[in-house]
Amino acid sequence: METKQPFKVAVVQAGSIVFDKENSVNKAVELIKEAGENDAKIILFPEAFLSAYPRGMSFGTKVGSRDAYGRSDFQRYSESSITIPGPETDQIGKAAKEAGAYVVMGVIEKDPEYSGGTLYCTVVFIDPSGEVIGKHRKLKPTGTERLVWGEGDGSTMPVFDTPYGRIGSLICWENYMPLARMAMYQKGVQIYLAPTADGRDTWFSTMRHIACEGRCFVLSSNQYSTKDMYPEDIVERELGEFDHEMTRGGSCIVDPLGEFIVEPVIGKEDILYADIDLSKITEAQFDFDVVGHYSRPDVFKFEVNEEALK
């Protein structure tokens, strides 16, 4: 596919309206419109934007017990999740089409046909025609995320060839899984998309490392969220120990040599922009190419099981 460059990308740093699918979608549509008006061709949203990364919530669980509040909270979480495709992806797709951009968004997905009540932390890819072209389900939820999210499998680890380079995504701490990263590199990812819920300083080092290791552009998107984005009853019952700021942001954009194009943005909602020139990837591969001249396939063997485990 012929590549159009240079081009602009956008990284959205914003908070979803927790458990409020309708208003979270409406917020996303407005942010896509704004990024499109600024000529962004790839627009990345944070992990679990539709419609919530439930930071601070326990879902009523201790080892060996669950309570009624937790079951009710999980039901609300399920109600605010989406199917792919579905009405919500149709709305996002319409906004993507009007913006003329690829939209890549973290969502909480339900798949009643195959998995009953299980929820998945998923990234959905929507093209400029407004169509869903694929998705990636998080392979391994982290810590207590495993209370509310199931595991994806190797059937949803795509890299898409687009007029703006080859795009692929891993979610949050999947990016600490060397073999998951290698699966992206092996497929030739050029625009590596890393939606996350991690805004710590160590995360920024990880994004720089991945860009340098993969000789790719890395876009990382985190939410900026506050307590007033949660339902009042959850704030009163669950979030008393937390500051008003629940997630501090830290979204960033990194070049193929591991240098920040846009440094981490902390403490506010924002949209980050950068102009991308894919020729910088070839320049960076001059002295290191993880799947090319710096690989040793005679020594190391790599295999990915891409079968659907249903």
Q: Give the model confidence (pLDDT) of 60-110 as tens digits.
A: 999 999 999 999 999 999 999 999 999 999 999 999 999 999 999 999 999
State yes or no: pLDDT of 9 exceeds 90: yes
Q: Is 47 a catalytic site residue? A: yes
Q: Which of 21, 27, 41, 172 is catalytic?
A: 172
| Helix (H/G/I), strand (E/B), else coil: 290 | coil
Q: What is the pLDDT of residue 57?
A: 96
pLDDT digits (tens, 9 = 90+) for 173-185: 999 999 999 999 9
Helix H or strand E encompassing 248: strand 245-254
Report the length, in residues, of the chain.
310
pLDDT digits (tens, 9 = 90+) for 23-46: 999 999 999 999 999 999 999 999
pTM: 0.96
pLDDT, position 5: 77
Note if 94 is an active site residue: no
Alpha-helical (H) ranges within 187-231 are 201-214
Please tell me the predicted confidence (pLDDT) of residue 307.
93
- Average pLDDT value over all residues in the chain: 96
Specify the residue for token string 């080092």.
205
Helix (H), strand (E) at residue 10: strand 7-13
Q: Is the pLDDT of residue 2 over 80?
A: no
Residue 1 has pLDDT above 70, yes or no: no
Instruction: Name residue 295's amino acid.
Output: S
Residue 310 has what pLDDT?
Answer: 64
| 21 is known as an active-site residue | no
Q: Can you give the pLDDT at residue 114?
A: 77
Q: Is residue 52 very low, low, confident or very high in pLDDT (cuts 50, 70, 90)?
A: very high
Could you identify the residue written with the tokens 């950068």? 274
- For the chain, the structural domain boundaries read 7-284
The residues with which 13 forms a beta bridge, in sequence order, are 270
Tell me which CATH code domain 7-284 carries.
Answer: 3.60.110.10
pLDDT (0 to 100) of residue 113: 80
Q: What is the pLDDT of residue 20?
A: 97
Task: Say if strands 191-196 and 159-162 run parallel, antiparallel, or are unpaired.
Answer: unpaired
Q: How does residue 112 score in pLDDT terms, banded at 50, 70 and 90? A: confident
Alpha helices in 139-254 (DSSP H): 178-186, 201-214, 232-238
C-beta separation of 165 from 3 below 8 A? yes
For the chain, percent of residues with pLDDT exceeding 90: 95
Q: Are strands 260-266 and 102-110 parallel, antiparallel or unpaired?
A: unpaired
Name the 3-class secondary structure at 123. strand
User: What is the distance between the terminal CA atoms of the chain, rounded to a whole angstrom?
Assistant: 33
Provide the token pair at 163.
């007029």
pLDDT in tens, 165-208: 999 999 999 999 999 999 999 999 999 999 999 999 999 999 99
Cis upstream peptide for 141 (omega within 30°): no
- Of 133-137, 219-223, 237-241, which range is least confident? 237-241
What is the average per-residue pLDDT within 200-219?
Answer: 98
Tens of pLDDT, residues 131-158: 999 999 999 999 999 999 999 999 999 9
Share of the chain above pLDDT 70, in %: 99
Q: Which of 27, 97, 135, 138 is catalytic?
A: 138
Q: Which of 47, 109, 174, 238 is catalytic?
A: 47
3-state class (DSSP) for residue 58: coil
